[in-house]
Amino acid sequence: MVDVPSCFVGLVLEDCQLPYANHGHVILADPSPILFYPISSTEVRCLVDVPGQKVPTISNGEMAKYLKTTVAPQVPPELFDAFISSIERGNIRTMPNRSMPAAPHPTPGALLMGDAFNMRHPLTGGGMTVAFSDIVVLRNLLKPLPDLNDAHTLCKYLESFYTLRKPVASTINTLAGALYKVFSASPDRARNEMRRACFDYLSLGVAIFGVGRLLLPFPSPKRMWIGARLISSASEIIFPIIKAEGVRQMFFPATVPAYYRAPPAK
């Protein structure tokens, strides 16, 4: 099932410099992140995340108004003038951000890869990493085969591909989905605390780090309650993603029969 959690609104900013040269920038804006990264010595690409499947209409000026009134005040001062100029030039593009867990459909003579098989939110830019990793897994599986003529036997053998790709793919997919939800603004105080903690410490221990911050310099009933809410919010974010990826395939791939599938006999 394909999910569309948000859309990107794209702009190219000209004749400007990022706050930190030659670095990508993620702005934790409201309602969701804004990305800036250089594409040439004088140009910066801006991707504004707009939650939901619908974005303001470009043709009637709603998009320009949204960008100027809602987004522009949250843009770094160094980029503000270039951001406004880009809006006024009108070269605005939009694209949906799709997410789709990998659902294997073994078919003799065909093997799905890339976005046709598995998608995640592009916030972390993990799509190409997953694609290259899948190529390496597939290459290693095909390398010992003398020929590829027996499609049905080959299809059965390549069922192991779907299990062997999981450690890398599921990690990147989980990171992309979780970070997008954590980076998006929320009225929930626990979610906002997790957002601040994530900003300070990007790692798998973000939730625990956030709880530790709350309990210092000393715990109180209110802080402990927010900490519990933080753990609960983190669980609500991460568990559905893990379920979609497959608990067994992610954490216990060696228990999947296809993991041990031998190459077809010569």
CATH number of 37's domain: 3.30.9.100
Asked if residue 139 and residue 16 are part of one domain, the reply reads no
Asked if residue 198 and residue 111 are part of one domain, the reply reads yes
Asked if residue 127 and residue 77 are part of one domain, the reply reads no
Asked if residue 77 and residue 53 are part of one domain, the reply reads yes
161 in Cβ contact with 138 (< 8 Å): yes
What's the Cα-to-Cα distance from 203 to each of 175, 177, 209, 210, rounded to whole Å?
Answer: 10, 14, 9, 11
**Of 45, 68, 98, the domain-final residue:** 98
**Residue 203 predicted with pLDDT over 50:** no
Parent domain of 65: 3-98
Tens digit of each residue's pLDDT (9 = 90 or more) over 211-239: 555 555 666 676 665 666 656 666 666 66
Report if pTM > 0.85: no
**Of 74, 98, 122, the domain-final residue:** 98
127 in Cβ contact with 165 (< 8 Å): no
The rounded distance, in Å, linking the Cα atoms of 33 and 182 is 10
264 in Cβ contact with 153 (< 8 Å): yes
Asked if residue 156 and residue 50 are part of one domain, the reply reads no
Hey, how many other C-beta atoms are within 10 angstroms of the C-beta on 171? 17
Helical H runs in the chain?
A: 62-66, 77-89, 127-142, 151-157, 159-164, 166-183, 189-200, 206-215, 221-245, 247-251
The rounded distance, in Å, linking the Cα atoms of 241 and 189 is 22
Asked if residue 207 and residue 88 are part of one domain, the reply reads no
Tens digit of each residue's pLDDT (9 = 90 or more) over 155-178: 888 888 988 898 889 889 888 888
Q: What is the pLDDT of residue 204?
A: 43
Asked if residue 168 and residue 93 are part of one domain, the reply reads no
**Of 98, 116, 136, the domain-final residue:** 98
